Amino acid sequence: MADRLSWVPDDVDPGLPSAARLYDYLLGGGHNFAADRELAERFLRAQPNARTIARLNRAFLRRAVLHLVDAGVRQFLDLGSGIPTVGNVHEVARRAAPGSRVVYVDYEDVAVAHSRMLLADDDRSTILQEDLTDPAAVLAGARATGLIDFAEPVGLLAVGVFHFVPPEADPRAVVAAYRDAVPPGSHLALSQFTSDLQPGEMAGVVEVMRRSANPMYPRTHAEITALFEGFDLVEPGVVPLPLWRPEPGAGEEDADRAGIFAGVGRKR
């Protein structure tokens, strides 16, 4: 019980699985419950490549952050940041640019609680407990931290999260609200599940997640590309995860089995 209380809020129901803890499990993390692992195993039966996809998504986050640092970005707003694991945004960014500042955003209680523990002594990073589909609240909270200067380029990160945003929440309008709040030179890095790659497996995943607290809404290549409206896509555009600027010497990955499209855009 003492170990549980060290990182789990009292009001968290361990019997109710969450997408954040499922992702943590797929990445090999330890901040998940039996219900999350059971959901993850059903996810894996529907999509046997899920662990590889999770790893590829995490690797895309790293490459995207380093690209943004190279482009001069020194402050990041990480939407739907999830449970911290090795290779967090502030760790990646600061290895390349030590003064980088990060505001993480998530509404999942365990993700927020663990992030607060991790960042307790970090005066250049913090976590907001907000829903990314409420940009006004997120942006107000980010301003209040004093860590994000909206007069300077901002790195907007939405990595592996928009497939949880339902159509009725109007994903394009959500992204547009963040885009309109940041100045030219800001960037958006985004990845999300698609049915264009392995449609059978994706249908199975949707069915598995339909009975969870976090249903999934895969989108087509065209729909994902439309989220970058107002941004100029950097090469190679919106592509399967392993094809977005792979690092030299990276092993061959089957792009058709990547499950997720990813891209980075620069605000005009």
Greater pLDDT, 85 or 121:
121
Instruction: Give the pLDDT confidence score for residue 9 in this predicted structure.
Output: 64
Whole-angstrom CA distances from 175 to 165, 225, 266 are 11, 12, 13
pTM of the model: 0.93
Instruction: Give the pLDDT confidence score for residue 248 in this predicted structure.
Output: 83
Q: What is the mean pLDDT of residues 69-74?
A: 98
Say whether pLDDT at 140 is over 70.
Answer: yes
- Average pLDDT over the chain, rounded to whole? 93
Residues contacting 9, CB < 8 A, separation 6+: 109, 110, 113
Tell me how far the alpha carbon of residue 67 is from its chain's centroid: 16
Instruction: Give the pLDDT confidence score for residue 1 in this predicted structure.
Output: 38
Residue pLDDT, tens place only, 233-245: 999 999 999 999 9
CB count within 10 Å of CB 33 equals: 20
- Work out the pLDDT band at 6, boundaries 50, 70, 90: low
CA distance 195 to 218: 6
Say whether pLDDT at 152 is over 50.
Answer: yes
What percent of the chain has a predicted confidence (pLDDT) above 90?
80
CA distance 134 to 198: 31
Instruction: Give the pLDDT confidence score for residue 2 in this predicted structure.
Output: 40
Greater pLDDT, 3 or 214:
214
25 residue type, one letter? Y
Instruction: Give the pLDDT confidence score for residue 10 in this predicted structure.
Output: 65
Q: Which domains does the chain have, with CATH numbers?
A: 53-196+216-267 (3.40.50.150)
Instruction: Give the pLDDT confidence score for residue 31 in this predicted structure.
Output: 84
Residue pLDDT, tens place only, 22-64: 999 999 988 889 999 999 999 999 999 999 999 999 999 999 9
Q: What is the mean pLDDT of residues 162-171?
A: 97
Residue with tokens 């009725």: 168
